[in-house]
Amino acid sequence: MNGAQTLIRTLVACGVDVCFANPGTSEMHFVAALDDVPEMRGILGLFEGVVTGAADGYGRMTGRPAATLLHLGPGLGNGIANLHNARRARTPVVNVVGDHATTHVALDPPLTSDIESLARPVSRWFRSSGTPGALAGDAVAAVEGAFGPPGGVATLVVPADVSWQEAGQPASGHPGAVWEPVAEDAVAEAAKALRSGEPAVLLVGGNAVRRRGLAAADRVARATGAKLLCETFPARMERGAGIPPVERLGYLAEFTIAQLQGARHLVLADALAPVSFFAYPNLPGYLVPEGCEVHTLAAGCDDAPGALEALAEMLGAPPSPRGVQVASRPDRPTGALNAQSLAAAIGALLPEGAVVSDEGNTSGLFVSGATAGAPPHDWLCLTGGAIGQGLPLATGAAVACPDRPVLCLEADGSAMYTNQALWTQVRESLDVTTVVLNNGSYAILELELSRVGAADPGPRAKSMLELGHPDLDFVALASGMGVPAWRATTAEEFTVQLERALSTPGPALVEAVLR
Ligand SMILES: Cc1ncc(C[n+]2csc(CCOP(=O)(O)OP(=O)(O)O)c2C)c(N)n1
Ligand SMILES: [Mg+2]
């Protein structure tokens, strides 16, 4: 058995059986070994950002890592933005990077680079496998490294000669994430703060925004009068009818400041103390109000839902949440197609059990509100702010959840980073409906331009932020990759087309013209 076969068999034995790949010459033995180990599903992505973003989406939805297969430093470099988002989401990913043969590196051939320096900032675990004999053990350690807790990117570099030499038997293991119970002290401190009678906020994030954590958080908030809020961009949030709703912190610092105003205690359940996304000349960066005490209930490796349940018990909260979301949907919209009517149509049609990959950006602002009372669904956000996540994330989520409809809300500018994901969706028959929110611009940056206090923009500055000349034709782009696609310019058209796209098996795309 050569190294590549040993590696793949070991990954499969550890429960890693999907590999999103964009290979090169140094990974040819890995590619060849896919036929020897049919348990590993290889999925081709036509750009590394698709590969890494899909691995993130898969990991968020299964809680288990997928593997990637990337080609040396340049391939890894192309995939880094979405590995960054995965790092911020704490998604387990086994990031396999092929390298030159150990004997070849010293010759400094063209593709040689410092892979470790590229990988370290996005990886919570890193190893270069130096010998075929060590490879199986290294692979098990990589899967363990990806699981954490907390989860993250484990980068395993595999030199070509390690792949092609005899490597012996695969190893196996049962890695998984074991979250640590929270110390009673932390629960008692939070209980004391929430009982103080002073205004308090319970801020949830990470693992605390699934159904179980939200139910416990709702009990705590209702028993104490604390305001319940959620981090701005959760990796995976469960929401919809029957689930306690939670307001997310705003993206703009001004909103967050208003949401936290007057709080004397901030209890963190798997969330970080809020900071502004960027610095602005006349705004604070740290958004916790002055005089507000921060109490960390759960962080890092902690079992956040368990901590919230313990807190609810300690507070003597009623046993079940009382504030669950009632079912409600907006009417099908009519008239002009704009951010509000687009949101209403999505709210009217979002299928039960949907997984929403949200990179709708400014034009998607109202969708969250319009879908609040829709049947239960999962919501995946842009955790690390590196755009180009939405389409790959939806792709990986659809691989992870073949029985669930996936809806990708994709702003036009962000869509152009990784639109090759559409091709993978066709090839793998993935049930993803993509809505492109085509506002013809980098709208958020037009806003930011004035917010940061830059001088009045001239035509040259404005041309850096608008996407016309030529207008992007997303129907043509999608059709060119085999995805059935329609363009909507009115609310009625959009609603009908979205309905058709959602009922189309496999991928489909609706371009919403919002101008
Ligand atoms: C990887 C990466 N490159 C660049 C940026 C800077 N950036 C932030 S938002 C944005 C444009 C977003 O435009 P679009 O996706 O069309 O959304 P809109 O603002 O129009 O709603 C850019 C380029 C970023 N966040 N991440
Ligand atoms: Mg835009």
CB of 101 closer than 8 Å to CB of 107? no
CB of 419 closer than 8 Å to CB of 411? no
pLDDT score for 364 = 98
In ligand 1, which atom is closest to the CA atom of 364? 21
Ligand 1 pocket test target in 382, 408, 444 with most atoms within 8 Å of CB: 444
**Residues near 355 by beta carbon (within 8 Å), at least 6 away in sequence:** 61, 377, 378, 380, 394, 397, 398, 401, 404, 405, 406, 407
CB of 248 closer than 8 Å to CB of 235? no
- Determine the Cα–Cα distance for residues 356 and 308; give it in Å rounded to an integer: 26
Ligand 1 mean position to 113 CA, how many Å? 29
Output phi, psi for 298, to 5 deg: -145, 140
- Determine the Cα–Cα distance for residues 498 and 489; give it in Å rounded to an integer: 12
3-state secondary structure of 486: strand
CB of 459 closer than 8 Å to CB of 313? no
CB of 380 closer than 8 Å to CB of 393? yes
Q: Which helix (H) or strand (E) holds 135?
A: helix 132-147
**Closest protein CA for atom 12 of ligand 1:** 442
Mean pLDDT of 203-213: 98
Output phi, psi for 472, to 5 deg: -80, 135
pLDDT tens digits for range 131-144: 999 999 999 999 99
Question: Which of 507, 515, 485 has its CA nearest to residue 408?
Answer: 507
Mean pLDDT of 315-324: 91
pLDDT score for 201 = 98
pLDDT score for 396 = 99
Tokens of 261: 């105003």
Asked whether residue 22 carries a pLDDT value surpassing 90, the answer given is yes
pLDDT score for 106 = 96
**168's torsion region: left (phi>0), alpha (psi -120 to 50) or beta?**
left
- Determine the Cα–Cα distance for residues 343 and 370; give it in Å rounded to an integer: 6
Asked whether residue 39 carries a pLDDT value surpassing 90, the answer given is yes
- Determine the Cα–Cα distance for residues 216 and 223; give it in Å rounded to an integer: 11
- Determine the Cα–Cα distance for residues 392 and 409; give it in Å rounded to an integer: 12
Ligand 2 mean position to 411 CA, how many Å? 5
Residue identified by tokens 């004391």 is: 192
pLDDT score for 346 = 99
pLDDT score for 357 = 99
Ligand 1 mean position to 477 CA, how many Å? 19
Asked whether residue 175 carries a pLDDT value surpassing 90, the answer given is no
Asked whether residue 491 carries a pLDDT value surpassing 90, the answer given is yes
Asked whether residue 58 carries a pLDDT value surpassing 90, the answer given is yes
Question: Which of 45, 104, 42, 100 has its CA nearest to residue 73?
Answer: 100
pLDDT score for 515 = 83
In ligand 1, which atom is closest to the CA atom of 411? 15
pLDDT tens digits for range 78-98: 999 999 999 999 999 999 999
**Residues near 159 by beta carbon (within 8 Å), at least 6 away in sequence:** 26, 98, 99, 100, 101, 102, 105, 128, 129, 130
Tokens of 154: 């484990």
- Determine the Cα–Cα distance for residues 97 and 27; give it in Å rounded to an integer: 8
Asked whether residue 321 carries a pLDDT value surpassing 90, the answer given is no
Mean pLDDT of 51-56: 99
Percent of the chain with pLDDT over 70: 100
pLDDT score for 454 = 85
Mean pLDDT of 431-460: 93
- Determine the Cα–Cα distance for residues 30 and 40; give it in Å rounded to an integer: 11
pLDDT score for 163 = 98
CB of 212 closer than 8 Å to CB of 239? no
Confidence of residue 503 (pLDDT cuts 50, 70, 90): very high
The 3-state DSSP composition of the chain as helix, strand, coil percent (nearest 5) reads: 40, 20, 40
3-state secondary structure of 80: helix
pLDDT score for 34 = 98
pLDDT score for 155 = 99
Asked whether residue 180 carries a pLDDT value surpassing 90, the answer given is yes
CB of 52 closer than 8 Å to CB of 68? yes
Q: Mean of the per-residue pLDDT values for the chain?
A: 97
Percent of the chain with pLDDT over 90: 96
Around Cβ 464, how many Cβ atoms within 10 Å? 10
Q: Which residues line ligand 1 (CB under 6 A)?
A: 81, 361-363, 385-388, 411-414, 439, 441-445
Ligand 2 mean position to 218 CA, how many Å? 35
Mean pLDDT of 442-468: 92
